[in-house]
Amino acid sequence: MRLDFQRLLSLPALLPAARAVLQSVTLDYGTFNGLANATAGIVYFRGIRYAEAPVGDLRWKAPVSPPTTHMGTVDATEYGDACIAINQATVTSGTSEDCLSVNIFIPYNTTAASKLPVLVYFHGGGFVAGDATTFPPENIIQGAASPLIFVTFQYRLGPLGFLGGSALKENGVLNAGLLDQKAGLEWLQRYIAQFGGDPRKVTIWGESAGAGATMFHLIANGGTNGNLFRAAMGDSPSLSFLPEYNSTYIEGVYSQFVGFTNCAGLDNSATVACLRALPADSIALAGNEVYLNRTAAIFAFGPYTDGVFIQQRPVEAFKSGAFARVPVLFGSNTDEGANWSASLADPAANTSNPLATQTTVYNFLAGQFATLTMESFNTAVAKYYPLEAYNNSFSLQGQQMYGELRYICSALLITGAATRFGLPGYQYHWDNPTIGSDHGEDLYAFFEGPEVFDTADQALFVAMRRWFTSFAISGEKPVAADAITWESNADRAKQLLKPVPVGGPEENTPAYYYAHLAWTDHLLHALLYPTAAPKPSAKLSMPMSTPVKAPADKSLGRELSGLRAAMGPLFWRARPSVVFLARIIKLRALVALGRWPDVPAALECAENDLGIALLAPTHPPPLYTTSTFHAVVTIHVLVLGVVCINESLIGWRPTPLAEGVLAVPLDHKHSLLFVRTTHPRVLYALGYLICAIARRYLVDRELKRKTFILEGLGVVDRDAVRELKVPRWAALATCK
């Protein structure tokens, strides 16, 4: 056989060129050379500066990102320094104030045109410690069903990231550590495409303080930062104590910090200038002294409301709709509160002490939530955490209260808010009897090697990696092959993450975890109004009490009769005014934008997608004029509520349901409910209305019995409220 050597030599020109590994990326301020590892299937870009060093005059200033100085060619194969932690009395090796770097890990065959989804991970550590370099990318990238990019950031910690007070407000910025994270996300929007990523497909994720950070980015700047990411995940999001930046607590921490330096006794601007001139060692020492002197506090520094980035507390923001409209996936562990109290130096706050009492538990919680009142604490113990439920153990009682308050209920808060506003919201509950279910132990699934775990745990970890990465890849839903379907949180279902034997029974099914979400509301009320009694809140999983009966009243009876007659056909018998409808439509538009005019939007729906929750506006918003009511009325009642149902109840325009009752749709499952009446006690008639709706629309769902909670009865006439002889915020109606 004759070989055509000339043709063979020309064959490479006819074949496609081998794909070059994207190992060097040129940005407008430098060229960064990474490390390609074919065995791992990853190209590592480590320690890329995303902002100027926040030192000197830039200490407690917003990050300057991207850097303004061209860096030339940079070796990006090694991690940058971690930020200075609170437990350092000096700047140790491997830590630095010059720490604002990003690490980017891309699949081996990525090109600049790949447009891969991006998963960003914020490390935990209570906002006072932690290091992005301790979260390797291999399990994330190799465990994904399709390619994605993994990113970690360093951000300022402790006093350098979260010192507050009026002096810094006037002469710097507040919550600098969170601003670092935001700058990192903005950096990704500008540059990630050059690493093969798609800036439109960024998902943020974190654990503990990192999950708290994702929560804060959801509500940042009034919930307007959704353009920086399309989905958010969090493992045990920290619902920190968030006082105002100029509160007594924050000003006290600031003064204490300054007192451990040589900058005390100056005016505000001079003090901050003095602090900026100190060496980093002095800052680290002062921060460590604050930490050591607050013996009942786990974390001495952390985020606070600043009026700009964090405009309101998470509970308020999520219930009012002031958060970014993106899908979310959050969860928590069974024993979130374990071992925290034992780490405290103050024996009066250490619930593990054999001499602990109920006051010890209070001291422990008050050390983390400074304005917690004893009255609110006692109410919570009596209603939700009786000591006998914890084998008369103050330690178990305290850890359950703390775990639910800081971590468990915040996951419920976020996913519940998402689904109430028509967004995908997924929850999980980590319960692992072999590895443990303490705070942070779910991270073994993502950042540890398989050699230390048994086959059941390894199988679970594979599914978890697929669930979390698929959520980031699709931006919509967690999916894992050979695993059960993870349902959205419409009915407060939680995916139970628990190992099962390979080939064994399918026990890993969705499970309900009814946390004491009411306890969060109790404490929130105590934090907002420390001199007031805590506001009762219903717990949906607890047995309901006997429905409240309306007191005898002939005029009320006549009005109830009229309303009940109108509810029969569920049809509006008297045409509402055009002004009334126009203003309701305007309100619907405001709600769609996440804005609630003068109304505390504490929306809460009963389980299984059906229920009602009423708001209690102190001053009812001017939705309609007096002429809308009967001419003889001088005292008006306005009740707002949300009807939750799987299918659209009323279509897409305001629809009358009964005399004086108008429903306005918000999305495919939520509708506002407006009531106008000539008598305050007609509020009781809402029970009949809800039952009528249930019978009318749920007859085919085999729901023979439903309990609804009416919460937040809003009545302008205070005397009329007292005549009701029931708490103004609680009344029950039961349908049979």
Query: Which tokens in the block code for residue 38?
Result: 């074919």
Do 651 and 615 contact (CB within 8 A), yes or no?
no
How far, in Å, CA of 62 to CA of 181, rounded?
11
Of 172, 197, 181, 215, whose CA–CA distance to 102 is shortest? 181
Do 658 and 572 contact (CB within 8 A), yes or no?
yes
Residue with tokens 């999980």: 428
Residue with tokens 């309100």: 587
Do 305 and 311 contact (CB within 8 A), yes or no?
yes
583 exposure class (CB count in 10 Å sphere: 0-12, 13-18, 19+): middle
686 exposure class (CB count in 10 Å sphere: 0-12, 13-18, 19+): buried
690 exposure class (CB count in 10 Å sphere: 0-12, 13-18, 19+): buried
DSSP one-letter string for 313-363:
-HHHHHHHT-S----EEEEEETBTTTTTGGG-S-GGG-TTSTT--HHHHHH
DSSP character for 451? G
208 is catalytic: yes
SS3 708: strand
SS3 658: strand
How far, in Å, CA of 430 to CA of 436, rounded?
9
Strands 493-497 and 425-430: parallel
How far, in Å, CA of 621 to CA of 600, rounded?
11
Return the half-sphere exposure (C-beta side, CA atoms, 13 A cut-off) of residue 695: 13
Backbone angles phi, psi at 520, to 5 degrees: -60, -40
Do 175 and 250 contact (CB within 8 A), yes or no?
no
User: Does residue 536 have a cis bond before it (omega within 30 degrees)?
Assistant: no
Residue with tokens 């071992």: 339
How far, in Å, CA of 498 to CA of 636, rounded?
53
Strands 730-735 and 706-711: antiparallel
How far, in Å, CA of 238 to CA of 171, rounded?
29
Catalytic residue among 65, 96, 101, 208: 208
Query: Which tokens in the block code for residue 669?
Result: 């499952």
DSSP one-letter string for 452-490:
GS-HHHHHHHHHHHHHHHHHHHHSS----TTS-----GG
User: Does residue 654 have a cis bond before it (omega within 30 degrees)?
Assistant: no
Strand partners, 203: 119, 231
- Annotated catalytic residues are 208
